[in-house]
Every structure is written in structure tokens, then in C-alpha cells.
Amino acid sequence: MLKNCIGCNKEFKTKPSHASWRKFCSQQCASISRKSLKIEIKCHECDKPYFILPCRKDKTKFCSVVCSRIGKIKTRKYTPKGSREIVSIKCERCCKFFDHNLAKKNRARYCSVECIKRPRESAICLNCKNSYEYIPRNRHGSIKFCSKNCSSQFFKGTGFWATASNQDIRDYLSNIFQVNVEKLKNGCWRWIKGVYGSGYGAMTYMGKSMKAHRMSYMFHNNEYELAPNIMICHRCDHKWCCAPDHLFKGTALDNMRDMINKGRQNNPRGEKASGAKMSEETAREVINLLENNIKMTKIASMLGVGKGAVNSIKRNRSWKHLSRKKHHE
């Protein structure tokens, strides 16, 4: 399709779909035509004349980005990025005047790094009585120790457990086992305060965490020095119980024997075992077939079980609790 260029009046080819909006034969003709349409106006900041298109007359007031940012500083009182205006500011530390570029995001308060740093102050440690320097924070006077070790030593030395007498400790423990315990009808003392993840009651003694039932036995039997290998076991089998009548002293072996005598051990056999490959009825049938001298491969194919499972039954490695007439080797 042929059209006439608005700028040079030459004919040029264009697509039918472009005919409605294309007016120039080239980009050069389009730029020359636009330059001829520009109008001249004055900058609001520097009063210099500059040219713009008529459509931008109401939107543009400045000839450049620099004039635009300086003008916005004067009118809107904020600091846009890229402004080149320099102002003089008084330092808050040394009271000297210094130059500051308004292009920076934050307004400067100090003239140098030395003025930014807070002056160190000296004090005397409450624990070791030595002099030390520190930088004051917002909460002035909160730093009272020269190190963390001095702080921990000071509070441990002045705490309840360091200054209390034996009678004070007994009164403290007696009050704990009256207030923090719920006495049930069956004789158990339920610990109602904090507990460990294992279910045993937790309390504090001599600044350290300790199990409540162990401390109850030590307090009521006046045995405060128990060996680490000595355990405090429950007769009632309740971890939260602190009743002195339900507690007894023993080793780990005594605790295991007590568990076995009460039948509380978790030792599933037969079908209840997690690795069981067959039912008890199938295992008895395997034993009967083995006693009749039938080969293991044939038994495995007949009952649909693995040859290894049949072999472990033959060698008495599994299903040991089932009765056998004779032992196959």
C-alpha cells in the first residue's frame, strides 16, 4: 500500500494494517517534524529558555534534572536523590560547621567519625573492684561488671543458695513439697509444677535443675549426698509421684529387675514383634513339617514364606517360645 509522507511528501510503501497510524516515511522525517513543532518556554529555576513539545507544556517546569531537584527542595522541603545543593550544618559534638550534600538520604549530625563515636566512661566492677571502661548505652548505669564471669560470680555469691543456712534450705524444701504437690487418695503425690520431657517433675536445688522425686527422697530421708549411679525408683510406677513412701533407692539393675517383676518391660514376642514374618499358626506348621524331615525349600514354597525365615526357625533363632519335640541342626 502507498502513502504520502507528511514531512517530505514522498510516497512510501506500508502494510495495510499500518496505514491508519503511520505518517512518515522514515525516522529522520519524524524527528525533523517533531522538532519543528516544539515551543520555547523558560525554566522556573534558572530562567533559561528551552524547547518542549506542546503536549508537555503543563507538565514540565524545569529545563534539567538539576533545576528540577533544586526547585523541589525549595518548595516541598525534602531531599531528593541526586541533588547537588550543599548546605552548612553545625556538628552536635564539637559545634563546628561542616558542608553537607543534600543528595544523601539522611541528614548529617556529626562532622567526622571521631565525633560519631561516643566517649568511653570509666567505672569500678562490683565483683573484682577493678576499673574498666565502657561505652554508655541508652540505659545509663546498666553496665556494672567488667565481664560476664564477674557478673555470674557476683550473682551466684549473693543468691539464696549461697547465703541460706541449713534450716532455711529445709524450710524452703518443706514449703515446696506442700505447695507444689497434689496429694491423691491412693497415696501418690502428684507434682503440679514444671516437668521434663520424660515426664518427671523438675525443680531447682542449689542453683541447679533436679528431678522432683529424687529431691523428695533426699529431703524426707535426710540423704543429700547421693552418688550419681544411685537411682530413685518408684513403687507406684508413676513418674510424677513424689511421695516418700512410694520411693526407694537402688541401682539401674535394681530398677530393671523391678520392671521385669512387674511385667512392664516392652519385649513383644511372636506376631506382636515388629519384625514378624509370619503368624503363630504358620510358625507352628513350619515346626511340624521340619520335625517330619521335609526340606526347607519345599516348606517355603508350600506356605508362601521365605527360606531364611524357615532356616531361622530350624536353628531356633526365632519363635523360641514355641514348643519343639527335638532340635534340628
pLDDT digit string, tens, across residues 220-237: 998 888 888 999 999 988
What pLDDT shows up at residue 78? 44
Domain around 236: 165-261
Residue 295 lies in a domain: yes
Q: Do 9 and 52 lie in a common domain? A: no
CA 30 vs CA 22, 23, 34, 36: distances in Å: 10, 8, 6, 10
Closest CA relative to residue 280, chosen from 321, 239, 328: 321
Name the amino acid, one letter, at 303: L
Predicted pLDDT at 269: 75
Question: Is 270 a domain residue?
Answer: no
Please report, as a single letter, which amino acid is at residue 206: M
Classify the phi-psi angles of 39: left when phi > 0, otherwise alpha if psi is within -120 to 50, otherwise beta. beta
Output the pLDDT for position 242. Answer: 93
Both 185 and 241 in one domain: the answer is yes
Residue 44 lies in a domain: yes
Report how far residue 124's alpha carbon sits from residue 115's, in angstroms, rounded to the nearest whole number: 26
Q: Which residues of the chain have pLDDT under 70?
A: 71-85, 102-106, 137-143, 155-160, 274, 325-329
Is residue 269 included in any domain, yes or no? no
Contacting residues for 73 by C-beta, under 8 A, at least 6 apart: 79, 80, 83, 85, 102
pLDDT of 71: 65
